[in-house]
Amino acid sequence: MNIKFLKTKSASLIIIFNLLLLGLLPFSCYSQDLYDSEHSRKYAEYLTSSHQYALAAEEYERLVYFDSGNVNFKNLLIKSYRLSGDLNAGIKRYYSFYSKTSDTLPGIMAEEFVRLELLNDSLSVAERFIQIQKNLSQNKKDVYQTCTLLLNNHYPEADLMVRESKLREPGFPHEIISITEGALRVKLKSPALAAGFSILVPGTGKIYTKNWSDGVFAFLFVAGNAWQSYRGFHEHGIKSGIGWAFAGLSASFYIGNVFGAVKAAKRYNKNKIDDINRQVFDFVRSDKF
């Protein structure tokens, strides 16, 4: 009977021990919560270093929720949206933190907002924002204002700002200096001049816009049809069907070539401007300044 009692007592102790263990387990797990602030911060840093910016933004959203007063977390959140390419989400999140008219933002937040607006092609918004910010250094303002001037195709004004800024600040970013110098060397083509060249000599308007093969082909096609038209009229008189057919081809291609030269000049200018804008956008996306 004593043996039976001991067995019953041992079984009871085992049951009680297991119940206590199960009761303490949630507290143990909670103390090692993988979703606490510190783990989220480390995970967000890992995601950023591995260029998984959209996922990093989700972790920084969690960190901002944990610590809504942490400016660094807010900045890294908006930066993650920028690097992920979700500019609208970054701008919307910024406005959830600060007023549109605030002029005393922390410098890092002001910079991030300017970058978002520049990449979003909201140049007037970015320009007004730069002018009113008190915590943005003059050097930073000069850099971003140069970017807005370049994106607005105001290349001489951008060059003047760069020259003045270099005198005040020897550490002015070399990248933006190089982009500005390259933009200043670009010579855009006049659509009117391209049309004038094509009116005088077919094909020369396209040659003016660096479309050599198109220009030579246009000249040969118009000249060849004009010659065939001349031969037709010369051999069969004014009623020559061949003469009128080739004359029509030559005239229609001649007129089309004039309009084509105008389009070629505009396309040339667009390609040059787009290339400069791409360089500016790459600079703004980078963290080199």
Q: What are the φ and ψ backbone dihedral angles of 54, each rounded to 5 degrees?
A: -65, -40
Structure tokens belonging to residue 78: 């908006």
If you average pLDDT over every residue of the chain, what do you get? 80
**Cβ(276)–Cβ(154) below 8 Å:** no
Q: Is a pLDDT exceeding 90 seen at residue 19?
A: no
**Cβ(108)–Cβ(138) below 8 Å:** no
d(C-alpha 107, C-alpha 206), whole Å: 49
Q: How many CA atoms lie within 13 A of 206 on its CB side?
A: 19
pLDDT number for residue 63:
92
pLDDT digits (tens, 9 = 90+) for 138-151: 889 999 999 999 99
d(C-alpha 146, C-alpha 169), whole Å: 14
Q: Is a pLDDT exceeding 90 seen at residue 222?
A: no
pLDDT number for residue 10:
54
Q: Is a pLDDT exceeding 90 seen at residue 18?
A: no
**Cβ(277)–Cβ(285) below 8 Å:** no
pLDDT number for residue 145:
94
Mean of pLDDT values over 210-226: 70
pTM: 0.74
Q: Is a pLDDT exceeding 90 seen at residue 271?
A: yes
CA 217-223-225 angle, 5° bins: 100
pLDDT number for residue 24:
45
Q: Is a pLDDT exceeding 50 seen at residue 32?
A: no
Nearest to 261 by CA among 201, 195, 187, 189: 195
